[in-house]
Amino acid sequence: MSVKIEEAMKVIHQYAPNFQAKIGMILGSGLSSVANEMTNVISIPYQSIPGLEVGRVSGHPSLLVLGQMNGVPVICLKGRLHLYEGTSYETLQILIRVIKHLGCETLLITGASGSLRPEVGPGELVAISDHINLQPGNPLVGPNDESIGPRFVSLENAYDRDLRALLIKAGSRMGFPMTEGVYLATMGPVFETPAEIRAFRSLGADAVGMSVVPEVILARHCGMRVVGIAAITNLAVGLSAERVTHEVTLHSSERLGRNLAKLIPAFVKDLASEL
């Protein structure tokens, strides 16, 4: 464990001395209402944890929330940090590895996304089956700490097939049918051009966003299983007459957040019964 991780864990244990979780989750833009389904909550501001910082994007409260969901101990990152804000990969490493050090073996990631498929519109949920990384760099570049994970990490089953099947089953039961799709990550903060969207579709992408992928790489490096949800807030530029803005993203996310606040606790309960 690096010195910074040791320092981060020391602060967290001051808030919650004996807390251990089974499942971690990251909530994307406007989706933080899912955390309202937690009980026995302990909230820790990111800025209180060494190595972390406050996010500066609307819809991301920047809180590490510890508690229970349907009786299952969980950790929630209520708001994420983005590369386009100037956040370093080292900071993202601390966030993900804190989740691992608190006992989590599974990480559920959500992200507000644009759809590249006209038939999958705003309000839909897509179970991420794979990703295409068009962000610069990689969060594992540099010296490798073998106590955390191997030098070379396989991403063949980065979005765990069994977890995805369990998620889709829960969605069907709760009235939220889900398709599967490939998530493509860009750097941001600009939205994509129509030409880029056409290129992304030719690459096989189904949804596009500005996050998710670095977190997945880091989670797989330290041995966590991952399941991901692309929450569709809009059709990508060129596929709709509606102008794509962050305000549109947040407005659509409110409804998606309400749906996820029903789906995710059901999924957590199902998963816990299998752990």
- Selecting among 38, 112, 205, 231, the annotated active-site residue is 112
- Selecting among 113, 115, 234, 259, the annotated active-site residue is 234
- Selecting among 7, 53, 85, 180, the annotated active-site residue is 85
User: Does residue 13 have an active-site annotation?
Assistant: no
User: Does residue 210 have an active-site annotation?
Assistant: yes
- Rounded alpha-carbon distances, angstroms, from residue 244 to 60, 166, 219: 19, 32, 30
User: Does residue 174 have an active-site annotation?
Assistant: no
- Rounded alpha-carbon distances, angstroms, from residue 162 to 85, 166, 168, 225, 266: 34, 6, 10, 10, 16
User: Does residue 82 have an active-site annotation?
Assistant: yes
Two tokens, residue 266: 């059901």
- Selecting among 32, 62, 211, 252, the annotated active-site residue is 211
Is domain 3-274 annotated with CATH 3.40.50.740?
no
User: Does residue 85 have an active-site annotation?
Assistant: yes
> Does residue 59 carry a pLDDT above 60?
no
Rounded mean pLDDT of 117-131? 96
User: Does residue 196 have an active-site annotation?
Assistant: no
Residue appearing with tokens 């051009």:
193
> CB–CB of 25/257 below 8 Å?
no
Task: Tell me if the pTM is above 0.75.
Answer: yes
Kindly report the CA angle at 149 between 147 and 154, in degrees rounded to 5?
165
Rounded mean pLDDT of 139-144? 95
User: Does residue 58 have an active-site annotation?
Assistant: no
For residues 274 and 38, the model is more confident at 38
Q: Decide: helix, strand or coil at residue 51.
A: coil
- Selecting among 25, 60, 113, 131, the annotated active-site residue is 60
- Rounded alpha-carbon distances, angstroms, from residue 222 to 27, 147, 184: 20, 9, 22
Residue-wise pLDDT for 182-214, tens only, equals: 999 999 999 999 999 999 999 999 999 999 999
Residue 251: pLDDT band by 50, 70, 90 thresholds? low
- Whole-angstrom Cα distance, residue 158 to residue 133? 13
Q: Decide: helix, strand or coil at residue 83.
A: helix
User: Does residue 29 have an active-site annotation?
Assistant: yes
User: Does residue 274 have an active-site annotation?
Assistant: no
User: What number of CA atoms fall less than 13 Å from residue 121's CA on the CB side?
Assistant: 6
Peptide bond into 189 cis (omega under 30): yes
> CB–CB of 80/201 below 8 Å?
no
